[in-house]
Amino acid sequence: MNPEVDPYFTDGCGRCPLGGTPACKVHLWPEELRQLRRIVLSTGLTEALKWGVPTYTFQGKNVAIVSAFKEYCALSFFKGVLLEDAHQILQKPGENTQSARLIRFTDTRQLVEMEPILKAYLFEAMEVEKAGLKVEFKKVSAFSIPEEFQQKLQEHPDLKAAFEALTPGRQRGYLLHFSQPKQAKTREARVEKCIPKILDGKGMQE
């Protein structure tokens, strides 16, 4: 175990005002998170704290994340889409997720009973990294640019240059974020809020 990761299991990721309070989501699943951590570490993966959550790596490559949500806790795989998923238990975190897949848990018994299966999935994820397999992401050009953002790009050449300088993953993240709201007013507000980050060369979660 990595001592730097310990605070997550008592105080959460710290990315919202609930961090370090009794209302933090980690307090909804204390035993489930403890068991998940034990199972993942038993495979020999390296534990680190990234993005405020326990992240597990193999030969320096991100493999899995353990995290808590309001309705469940989860074991997430960065390249879950490449796993065979023999037991059909992997789910997409979001409708537009291309690579990551997760397994949701709501009680300790369910988790412990699945331990052999979880280990098998983790070992398979390690083999994916050994083989150097990569996820084929949709090109940024396959995503539509919301009118509200397109207008800003046309009005501000510096914003256009900064956006085009972002990595494809960061660009996709912004385009999906801007496209989700049904109301133009909400889309415009999202664009305005994110402009400073884009100009700083940062992704949405940075």
- Residue 176: what pLDDT? 84
The range of the structural domain enclosing residue 188 comes to 140-199
On the question of pLDDT at 56 being above 70, the answer is yes
Domain-embedded: residue 72: yes
Q: Work out how many domains the chain is built from and give that number.
A: 2
- Residue 113: what pLDDT? 95
Domain-embedded: residue 204: no
SS (H, E, C) the chain: CCHHHCCHHHHCCCCCCCCCCCCCHHHHCHHHHHHHHHHHHCCCCEEEEECCEEEEEECCEEEEEEEECCCCEEEEECCHHHCCCCCCCCECCCCCCCCCEEEEECCHHHHHHCHHHHHHHHHHHHHHHHCCCCCCCCCHHHCCCCHHHHHHHHHCHHHHHHHHHCCHHHHHHHHHHHHCCCCHHHHHHHHHHHHHHHHCCCCCCC
Domain-embedded: residue 135: no
Spatial contact of 34 and 25, defined as CB atoms under 8 Å apart: no
Residues 169 and 86 in one domain: no
* 40-52 residue pLDDT tens: 999 999 999 998 9
Q: What pTM does this model have? A: 0.73
* 87-113 residue pLDDT tens: 999 998 876 677 899 999 999 999 999
* 129-168 residue pLDDT tens: 999 998 877 676 777 888 999 999 999 989 999 999 988 8
- Residue 169: what pLDDT? 82
Domain with residue 88: its CATH number is 3.30.1460
Residue percentage of the chain with pLDDT more than 90:
69
Question: What is the pLDDT of the chain when averaged over all its residues?
Answer: 91
- Residue 96: what pLDDT? 66
Residues 185 and 120 in one domain: no
* 61-94 residue pLDDT tens: 999 999 999 999 999 999 999 999 999 999 988 7
Residues 163 and 125 in one domain: no
